[in-house]
Amino acid sequence: MKKKRYHILLTICLMAGMAAGCGKTSQESKNGAETLQETEKSSRAKEASVIVTMPTSSEPEAGFDPVYGWGAGEHVHEPLIQSTLLRTNEKLELEQDLATDYQVSEDGLCWTVTIREDVSFTDGEPLTAADVAFTYNTCRDNSSVNDFTMLKEAEATGDYEVKFHLNRAYSIWPYTMANVGIVPEHAYDESYGTNPIGSGRYMLKQWDKGQQVILETNPDYYGTKPGIDRVTVLFLTEETALAAAMAGEVDVAHTAAVYTQQQPKGFHLFEADTVDNRGINLPAIPAEERDGLRYGNDFLCDVRVRRAINLGIDRELLIEHTLQGYGTPAYSVCDGLPWYEEQGETAYDAAKAQKLLTEAGWLPGEDGIREKDGVKAAFTVLFHPEDSLRQALAEEIKNQLLELGISVTTEAAGWDVAYDKAQSQALVWGWGAHTPMELYNLYHSMEDGLAEYSPYHNETVDDYMDQALASNDMEESYELWKKAQWDKRTGITQEGDIPWIWLCNVKHLYFVRDGLAIAEQKIHPHGHGWSLINNIDAWSWE
């Protein structure tokens, strides 16, 4: 890998035309780089291999072990190295992978799954229901990423049948079955993450921590043979990824809006739609102290104020200013997903926002900032100090709300203090996942009577989500998730409580080498990493 990195740096040097240090003129360097790109392209196309970059944060800390998060969150939603019981297609519809059939009991407490009989792990041992049960029970006991509190026990009731006994009805259990990779009971130990044995489309050939991962096709894979035989993933910063693409060293380079005008020759810009959203929480209760921690906000607790803020933010302008147009307006944490309630969408309306603030008693002061009973209309928006986009969004919110007569102070806050501060102040968050539980986690009240990340409570919203989880029909549960958002009387959208303001969904951007056909993408979740290559087996060179 050191030689490879030296080669990248040398090529970048040539492209920059550093004649004194590299011994080439600018034109010679350019010609050399272009020749290298064509050679690399031809070679990889012939070998059906691809080199892809990902952010350094995409490297799984615990390795390629589903028990510790591989296959969930910002990694892949159907792990490449292991098989899953189910998988989702481009429309997020559930399809079979290992499972040939699955059924749920009337009370929703037992899921019975039948699996294929023709699957082996890459060490030659057959994959059976015992491995499935072992995987899920191990996840239940050890997982710190996925929620398995609903699982009582996974039981192998035959060589190819497994029963999942639940502590409570959980209608969206199939989404869990679509992202948990099955590990071999006979070959699982504390080192599994670095030396994974699976039955999926690819095998881990090499992992140089902090640098790269190399995957090669599993010759005994039971499904369709992948069109790409070898996948190399380089963990790079956006700047280094751009330089590597310019040098012709990679085929796909992740990038950001700020770099789109520097498109490398021989590459095109690929845009992936996402539910990788950014938004701010608005504490929805009056200020109070609980166990030494401040909760609520006396300005933001008025629903008219929250509605005014939602109407007073021009999302299109915000996207243009902060993302150079590479985003879509966001109105929920689940835009475009099967359980999304479209009635939550609103149009920018500064005049209506002004009227709401006036009705709430907040009148313009001499300095233009609204006041009520001698108190200024003001609040703080927090952002993570190492995230330039979140800072830019906070500043944009500040500028736009000033037009309404609201004074916003922006403040950096690391994650060590941000969660506590968000109980009384607004914070720029990033969310988005292929599961309705994202709604539950943000809006459902917890044991203390309030939602976890920002103080909010609505019994009707809680009840709809509880009913949705208790349903034994996942498709029917979608309507209950939608009602939790807005049932024409109450909910979490503009005409309801609006305890969160959603701003934008960030498009995931990549420079892709001409001639490489990226397969149709499902909507990407939060995290600019493994989602793109989730279906790399369906990619091809033209």
Task: Report, as an integer, the average pLDDT of 306-332.
Answer: 98
Residue pair 371/363 in contact (Cβ under 8 Å)? The answer is yes
d(CA 526, CA 460): 28
Cα angle, residue 46 at apex, residues 44 and 49 outer, rounded to 5°:
40
489 pLDDT band, cuts 50/70/90, is very high
Distance CA 401, CA 283 (A): 17
Percent pLDDT > 90 in the chain is 84
| pLDDT over 80 (residue 497) | yes
Residue range 36-64+200-273+508-542, CATH number: 3.40.190.10
State mean pLDDT over 189-197: 96
Per residue in 394-433, is it b (16+ CB within 10 Å) or e — as a string?
bbbbbebbeebbbbbebeebeeeebeebbbbbbbbbebbb
Is 60 exceeded by the pLDDT of residue 20? no
pLDDT at 34: 56
| Arithmetic mean of pLDDT, 142-150 | 87
Q: Assess whether pLDDT exceeds 60 at residue 504.
A: yes
How confident is the model over 293-312, as a mean pLDDT?
98
Tens digits of residue pLDDT in 249-293: 999 999 999 999 999 999 999 999 999 999 999 999 999 999 999
In this predicted structure, what is the pLDDT of residue 46? 57
Phi, psi of 362 (to 5 degrees): -95, 105
**Overall average pLDDT of the 5-30 stretch:** 38
Question: For position 244, what pLDDT does the model report?
Answer: 98
Which amino acid appears at position 484 of this protein?
Answer: A
CA nearest neighbour of 179 among 422, 530, 536, 538? 530
Strand 370-372 relative to strand 363-364, pairing: antiparallel
Say which residue, 371 or 72, is predicted with more confidence.
371
The CATH T-level fold of domain 277-506 is Dipeptide-binding Protein; domain 3 (3.10.105)
Domain boundaries, the chain: 36-64+200-273+508-542, 82-195, 277-506
Q: 82-195: which CATH topology?
A: Dipeptide-binding Protein; domain 1 (3.90.76)
> Is the pLDDT assigned to residue 77 strictly greater than 80?
no
Question: What pLDDT score was predicted for residue 140?
Answer: 96
Tell me the pLDDT tens digit for each residue of 26-66. Answer: 444 445 455 555 655 666 665 799 999 999 999 998 899 99
- Beta bridge partner(s), residue 382: 411, 427
Is pLDDT above 50 for 482?
Answer: yes
Q: Which residues pair with 153 in a beta bridge?
A: 165
- Percent of the chain residues past pLDDT 70, beyond the cut: 90
Per-residue pLDDT reduced to its tens digit, 342-357:
999 999 999 999 999 9
> 378-383 and 426-431: which strand pairing?
parallel
Has residue 3 got a pLDDT over 70? Answer: no
Average pLDDT of the chain is 91
pLDDT of 382 higher than 80:
yes
Q: What is the mean pLDDT of residues 373-379?
A: 97
Reference 391, options 365, 423, 427, 422; nearest CA is 427
